[in-house]
Structure 1
C-alpha cells in the first residue's frame, strides 16, 4: 500500500493528469478511478488543451510534474517497443528546464566533497551556473595552473526526491501490472526498474567521469571526435571537474554555416562514429542529442565532434553485438530470410517461430522502404518497424538494444539536419563491413590466439589425467547428461556465432604449436618457455582432436 505521506503527491499527480485531459491514464490506475467523478474539483483544463495530441498533452503534464517526471519521460521515449510512435516522438522533445539552485550552495557542496575551500582548489570559481538540469548543474572555474574547467555539481536533496518519486512509480507499476489488460507486454515493473537504474547511474558522477575517460582513450588523437579530460583530483561522487570545451551544438545550422563548417563531412563523420563506437569499441554515447554533441568551430575544413555529458553510455553483450551486426549486414543486402533466421538463432524469438512467416513479415516491412531512393531511407526507422512487427511473434528485446536503437535515431536525425541529402546507407554499409571484417579477420584471430596460448599451455599438463578420468567415468556409466530445450537453443545460438571463428583458431593453434615443437626437437631442447615438450605435444594432440571434431560438426 502507498504510505499516507505520499497521498498529497498522488493527488497532485492526479490533478495534473486530469487538467491535461489524460483521463485514460487515470482510468488505467485503479486507485485514481474515483477521481473521474470529481474532476471539476481539480480545476478547468487549459484553453484548447483537448485540441492537442495525446502525446503533446502527456509531454506538457510531465513537464509540469517536475524534473524527475521529465527525466522519466526522456527515458521512456527510448522504449519505442512499448510506446506508440506519436507519443515517443513527443517525449523526445522533453528538455530539462529547471531553475538553478543557489551558487553559494553549489560552492558549499564542492568544498565539502573535496575537503578544502574553493579558493584553495581553484584560481577562479563562478557561482553563476552555466547550465542547470534535473540532476546537476554546471559552473565555470579555473585550476591553479590556469587551465579552464567546468565543475558539475549534483543537486542537493535530489537523491531523496528521486527515491520518493521512484517509490510512487513502483506503486503505479504494480497497479498497472494488476489491472492493465496488456501488462504482460508492457512489463511496467521492468520499465520502472530500468528507469531507476539509469537515474541512479546519473547521480554517480564518478561513474560519469570513468565513462568519459574510456571514451577519451578510445578516440585518443582522433581527427573525428574530441572528449574532454577528467580531473580526478577535483572530482568525487557528487562533483565532477572536466576540461572546459567550446563548440557549436550540432543542430545550430546557422552558426555552423557562419563558421564555414563543411556540414556534409560532419554528417558523414557522425554516422561513421556511431558504428565505430558500437562495433569497434562496444562502448557508445547513448544520450547523443544535439545538446550533448557539439562541433569544433576551430576546424572548418576537417571538422570534428566534441562530446559532453557521459552519464548514459551503452554497450552490448558480445552475442548481441554479433547478431546485431549480422542483422545490419543482411538488411543492407535485403536478405530477408537471413534476418528471420538471425532473430531466431539469437534467441530473440521462440525456436518454434515459422521462418517463412517471419520472412514474409520482414519483407512486408522493408520492401516499401526500398522503393524510395536510399538517401531517403532511415535505418533506425526500419529497425523500429521491424521490432514492432516482430513483437507479434513474441520478440524479446534486451534494454541495451532499445538504447542503441534510440541512439541511432538521434544520430540519423542529426545527420539529416546537417545534410538533408545524406545517403545514410552508403555511408554506414562500408564502415560496418570494414569494422566487422577487422573484428573477425585473420589479424583478429591471431590476436585472440596469442591471448589464449599461455592459458592453454598452463592447463596442458592436467589434460591427460582429466581425459583419463572422463573416459573412466564414461565407460562405467557414471556420466549423466541433462539438457533442457532452452539450453539446446542457447547452445545452438552460441555455436552458430562462434563456430566460424573457433575452427580456424584451433587449426592455427595446431600449426603454431607444431612449429614450436619441431623447432625445439631440431635444436635438442627438452623445454620451451619453461614448459616440458610432453606438455606441448599434449596440447597439439588435444587441439587437433578439437579441430577435427568441430570440422565434422
Structure 2
C-alpha cells in the first residue's frame, strides 16, 4: 500500500485495523469498477448497448444503497464521502445522489476516557484544571468529532466574561482514519481516470483533491476558530446575527472551546411560537442574512442546516430586534474569490444577453467544462431555456407552473450528466448553501418564495455589473477607435511608398482600385466612430445623462464623414 504522491503517507502496514479498512474500501470500489466496465464498455463494444441500458437505473440504485451501508459501518470519513457525492449532481446520476442524500452524520459518541486522554494531551493540563466542570455526556456526536458542555475556571471566566462553554473534541484516532480513507480514495481515483467512460466526463483526481482539502480543513479546529472570528467581524455591527466567542486559551488543532450559545433550533416552529417569535419573519431574515453573506461579504456559511442555526431571544432589546440568528460550526465556509466573481460576471452578461453560445463559452473559460466537452447539445438546451424564460422578470417567473420548471430541470440535468461537466468547489458550496437556506425557510414558512428574497440582491448585482459592462464597452470603443483612426495614416504611408517607387505601380486600373480602397477605409473610419459614439451615448444615458446626450450628438459627425467619404470626386479635366 504505497503512499500517495504529494499527500500524507498511506497507513502503516503494522496497523492491522487501518490495513483492513483500506482493503475493504478498495474491494468495494474494484467490484463496482469491474461492473461498470462490463456494462458500460464491454457490452457496448459487442453491440449489446440495449442490454446495458435496460437495468442501468436499478444498478445505480443498488450501488448507492450498498455504499450507504458501507459508509454507516465504517463511519469516519466515508460518511462525509457519501454526503459529498450526494451534492455532485453535475457528475453523478440522480439514482445515486438521491439515495445518498439521506446519509446522516450521526454516530455513537466515543468513550469519555478516550476523549479525556486526547483533550488533556492537546491542552497540556488535566481537564479539571482546564475547566471547572466538564460534562461526560456528549451533546452532539459526528463522525469526525463530538461536543461536550463545560464551564471555564474562574480566571478564564473573568477574562472572557462568560463561563458556560461547549468543547468540541476531535474523535480519537480520526486522523489515521482520514489518512487511510484519503489514500484509498486517491488509489480509486487513479483507477477511474484510466476508465474512458468515466474520465471523458469527470476528472476523478480533481474531485478527490477538492474533497481532501475540505475534509482536512474540517478536522483542523484552528481553521474553524479563525472562520468563526472572521464571520463575527463581518456581522459585528449587525444586531440580527450572533456568533459564539472563541476561547483561544483552551483551543488547539484538536480541541475547540466556544461560548455556549445554545438556544431554539431554527426549525423548531413550536418553540419559536412559544417564545413569541413569528417563524415566517425568521425565514425572511435568515434568507436576507444568507444572501448578504454571498452578495455582500463574499464569505459565507456553507453548511447552514438546522443543527447549525439557533434563534436566540433578546430580553433587553429595547427598540432593537427581539431575537437574533446564532450561527455555529464554521468548519465548512465558502468564499467568492476574484476568479469566481469574474466568472459570475461573464456568466451574468451571457444570461442577460440570452446568448446560449456565449454562455457555453463563458463556462468553458471558468473551467466548469473539461476540454473534451462536445457542447452542441448543451447549447441547444440553453437556447430552449432562454427562448422560454429568458425575457421574464422575477414577477413573471413566480407565476410559471412549477412542473414546467421541473421538466426543464430534468432535461437540463440529463444533458449536464452527459457532458464532462465538473463544478468547482466554490460553486458547489454556493449551491449547497442556497439549497439548505431554501429548505430551512420553506419549513418555517410554507409560502416562502426564494425569488422574493433574492430579488433585491440580484438587482443590485445586475446594477453593479452594468457599470462594469459600460466600462468594458467604453474601453473596447476607444481601442477600436484608436485602431481605425490609424488606418488612414497607414494607408497614406502605403500610398506614399508606392508613389516613391518602393512598389512600382503604373497601371491606371490599379490607381483606381487604390483610390477605391482609400475611400472604403475612410468610410470604415466614420462608421466605426459613429457606432462607438452612438452605443456609448445610449449606455451612458442611464448613468450620466448629459454625457450620453453629448456622445449621441457627436456621432452625427462621423456618420456624415462615412457618407461623404464614399462619394467619388469628379475627375479633373
- What is the Cα deviation at residue 159 of structure 1? 0.5
Q: Is the Cα contact below 8 Å between 1:274 and 1:284 reproduced in 2?
A: yes
- What does residue 515 of structure 1 align with? none
Instruction: State which of 161, 175, 185 in structure 2 corresponds to 1:169.
Output: 185
- What does residue 442 of structure 2 align with? 416
Q: Deviations over 1:173-205 (max 9, x none)?
A: 222222362223232222222222121111210
Task: Kindly indicate whether residue 102 of structure 2 is the aligned counterpart of residue 93 of structure 1.
Answer: yes
The change in CA–CA distance for 1:387 and 1:314 in structure 2 (over 3 A counts) is farther
Query: 1:307-322 counterparts in 2 under 5 A?
Result: 307-322=327-342
Query: Tell me, what secondary structure is at the counterpart of 1:182?
Result: helix
- What is the Cα deviation at residue 223 of structure 1? 3.0
- TM-score normalised to the size of structure 2? 0.63
Give the distance between the partners of 1:181 and 1:153, measured in 2 at CA.
Answer: 42
The change in CA–CA distance for 1:95 and 1:221 in structure 2 (over 3 A counts) is same
The change in CA–CA distance for 1:338 and 1:160 in structure 2 (over 3 A counts) is same
The change in CA–CA distance for 1:373 and 1:61 in structure 2 (over 3 A counts) is farther
Give the distance between the partners of 2:185 and 2:140, measured in 1 at CA.
Answer: 28
- What does residue 405 of structure 1 align with? 431
Instruction: State which of 106, 130, 135 in structure 1 corresponds to 2:139.
Output: 130
The change in CA–CA distance for 1:401 and 1:247 in structure 2 (over 3 A counts) is same
Q: Is the Cα contact below 8 Å between 1:275 and 1:432 reproduced in 2?
A: no
- What does residue 119 of structure 1 align with? 128
The change in CA–CA distance for 1:340 and 1:114 in structure 2 (over 3 A counts) is same
Q: Deviations over 1:412-458 (max 9, x none)?
A: 1212222222221122021233366579979xx9xxxxxxxxxxxxx
- What is the Cα deviation at residue 91 of structure 1? 2.0
Give the distance between the partners of 2:276 and 2:404, measured in 1 at CA.
Answer: 27
Structure 2, unmatched stretches of 5+, are 3-11, 39-57, 390-395, 472-535, 541-573
- What does residue 65 of structure 1 align with? 74
Work out which of the two has the higher radius of gyration on C-alpha atoms and give 1 or 2: 2
Q: Is the Cα contact below 8 Å between 2:64 and 2:100 reproduced in 1?
A: yes
Q: Is the Cα contact below 8 Å between 2:372 and 2:420 reproduced in 1?
A: no
- What does residue 544 of structure 2 align with? none
- What is the Cα deviation at residue 213 of structure 1? 0.3
Give the distance between the partners of 1:378 and 1:408, measured in 2 at CA.
Answer: 21
Q: Deviations over 1:365-384 (max 9, x none)?
A: 46777776369599999899
Give the distance between the partners of 2:91 and 2:302, measured in 1 at CA.
Answer: 19
- What does residue 429 of structure 1 align with? 455
Q: Is the Cα contact below 8 Å between 2:202 and 2:421 reproduced in 1?
A: no
Q: Deviations over 1:17-75 (max 9, x none)?
A: 59xxx974562489xxxxxxxxxxxxxxxxxx999765444323321232221111112
Give the distance between the partners of 1:10 and 1:186, measured in 2 at CA.
Answer: 24
- What does residue 364 of structure 1 align with? 384
Give the distance between the partners of 1:202 and 1:381, measured in 2 at CA.
Answer: 37
- What does residue 216 of structure 2 align with? 200
Give the distance between the partners of 1:382 and 1:220, measured in 2 at CA.
Answer: 42
Query: Tell me, what secondary structure is at the counterpart of 2:292?
Result: helix
Decide which moves more: 49-58 or 361-370.
Answer: 49-58
Query: Tell me, what secondary structure is at the counterpart of 2:139?
Result: strand
Give the distance between the partners of 1:396 and 1:52, measured in 2 at CA.
Answer: 22
Query: Tell me, what secondary structure is at the counterpart of 2:109?
Result: coil
Query: Tell me, what secondary structure is at the counterpart of 1:88?
Result: helix
- What is the Cα deviation at residue 405 of structure 1? 1.4
Query: Tell me, what secondary structure is at the counterpart of 1:186?
Result: coil
Task: Kindly indicate whether residue 263 of structure 2 is the aligned counterpart of residue 251 of structure 1.
Answer: no
Instruction: State which of 205, 217, 220 in structure 2 corresponds to 1:189.
Output: 205
Instruction: State which of 226, 233, 238 in structure 1 corresponds to 2:254.
Output: 238
Q: Is the Cα contact below 8 Å between 2:167 and 2:255 reproduced in 1?
A: yes
- What does residue 35 of structure 2 align with? 27
The change in CA–CA distance for 1:256 and 1:50 in structure 2 (over 3 A counts) is farther
Decide which moves more: 399-408 or 344-353.
Answer: 344-353
Instruction: State which of 212, 218, 227 in structure 1 corresponds to 2:234.
Output: 218
- What does residue 532 of structure 1 align with? none
Give the distance between the partners of 2:127 and 2:187, measured in 1 at CA.
Answer: 42
Query: Tell me, what secondary structure is at the counterpart of 1:304?
Result: strand
Report how many aligned residue pairs link the two structures: 423
- What is the Cα deviation at residue 271 of structure 1? 2.3
Q: Is the Cα contact below 8 Å between 1:13 and 1:65 reproduced in 2?
A: no
Q: Is the Cα contact below 8 Å between 1:375 and 1:423 reproduced in 2?
A: no
- What does residue 91 of structure 2 align with? 82
- What is the Cα deviation at residue 330 of structure 1? 7.2
Give the distance between the partners of 1:271 and 1:329, measured in 2 at CA.
Answer: 25
Decide which moves more: 298-307 or 129-138.
Answer: 298-307
- TM-score normalised to the size of structure 1? 0.65
Q: Is the Cα contact below 8 Å between 2:92 and 2:417 reproduced in 1?
A: no
The change in CA–CA distance for 1:84 and 1:294 in structure 2 (over 3 A counts) is farther
- What does residue 292 of structure 2 align with? 276
Query: Tell me, what secondary structure is at the counterpart of 2:98?
Result: helix
Q: Is the Cα contact below 8 Å between 1:337 and 1:359 reproduced in 2?
A: yes
Q: Deviations over 1:292-348 (max 9, x none)?
A: 222225589754322111111111221312432664687699786775564366565
Decide which moves more: 64-73 or 341-350.
Answer: 341-350
For the aligned residue pairs, the C-alpha RMSD in angstroms reads 4.2
